[in-house]
Structure 1
Amino acid sequence: MPPGYSLAGTGGRQDFDFLAGAWTTHQRRLKTRGEGSTEWVDAPSNVHCARQYLDGLTTAEESYSPAKSITGLFLYLFDLQKRQWSLYWIDPKSGNLGSPLVGGFAGNRGTFYGQDVDDGRPVKVRYAWTKVDNDHARWEQAFSFDGRTWETNWTAEFTRANSVEVCTRK
């Protein structure tokens, strides 16, 4: 397994309280994944609007492009018995619910692991969330194609925004 990979990580039901509200992002992606690329490209900066449900057990985060088209829906579900989060992404092009990543926060850093397929290749996946302060957060995605090393391939710097201004679709 790649370093740190574990499906046993736990957290608390308030781990994603910080995410509620509106955010803008600056995103970067590796130009090519799984080939040793070091060339990063800026990705479209999205708007993220998140709401909590069930007293914080569930957070739903909808992502929009600058043109206000939906780019995805993220679901964060907390299992009270396991004390573990399951993170899902719903692709707006297919409506498919992606494979879950599981884990939790230790302090201001959350790590979540799972398995997926990237262009037909099975990969181990790691999401890392960092709560920087009340108005800033960082998310990153890393894949392990070889089961030994991680390649960070996507990052997003989150900056808090005004919900009324950015979460109202026209």
Structure 2
Amino acid sequence: MSDPVEPCRDFDFQQGRWNVRHRRLTARLAGCTSWEEFPGTSEQRPLLGGNGNIEDNLLHLPGGTYRAVALRSHDPASGSWAIWWLDGRAPHRLDVPVIGRFENGVGRFHADDVLDGRPVRLRFLWLGTDGDTPRWEQALSPDGGASWETNWTMEFTRA
């Protein structure tokens, strides 16, 4: 018996093993211009017959190494993806899911979240997914999306 729904191929570019160059602001939404860089690895494999995937990450932060996963699932009815983040330092808490889709080669995903007790808009971008070096960016907006501060980037190269 075959799967009832054709798999969505949006995240096929990321399947396999990767070396990751992380770059993040040392403070978020604080006018900070100081960045820290650190290495990591990532491995992604499909789930749910191709309509989902899991990305297992090892991050070597300056303050210590930790693991985290991104869990993604596609809803064929809406055409959107949901992405949850599970951080090994808080293993019983899934972050709020970002919801979105790929259009014209760019993945855009958003959620409402809270930072230090204040509401923020969260955005993930997937860029360069048609080449050998995809890039992920995370940004926060304190004003409902009128302005954005990119606070974390990940540059992927095949392991």
Q: TM-score, normalised by structure 2?
A: 0.85
Tell me which residue corresponds to 2:56: 62
Query: SS in structure 2 opposite 1:46?
Result: strand
Q: Residue 156 of structure 1: CA displacement?
A: 0.9
Residue identity in the other structure for 1:104: R
1: CA distance, partners of 2:13 / 2:130: 9
Residue identity in the other structure for 1:81: A
Contact 1:140-1:155 at 8 Å conserved across structures? yes
Unaligned residue ranges in structure 2 (runs of 5+): 1-6
Matches within 5 A, 1:91-170: 91-95=87-91, 96-147=93-144, 148-161=146-159
2: CA distance, partners of 1:19 / 1:25: 12
Query: SS in structure 2 opposite 1:136?
Result: coil
Query: SS in structure 1 opposite 2:23?
Result: strand
Q: Residue 57 of structure 1: CA displacement?
A: 0.5
Q: Name which structure has the greater RCO, CA cutoff 8 Å, separation 6+.
A: 1
Unaligned residue ranges in structure 1 (runs of 5+): 1-11, 162-170
Aligned length: 148
Tell me which residue corresponds to 1:9: none
Tell me which residue corresponds to 2:47: 53
RMSD: 1.8
Tell me which residue corresponds to 1:29: 24
Q: Residue 65 of structure 1: CA displacement?
A: 3.2
What are the superposed Cα offsets for residues 7-65 of structure 1, whole Å, 9 maximum, x if unpaired? xxxxx8111011110111111111221122222221x2110011001221011001013
The 1:132–1:60 alpha-carbon spacing in structure 2 relative to 1, beyond 3 Å, is closer
Contact 2:106-2:129 at 8 Å conserved across structures? no
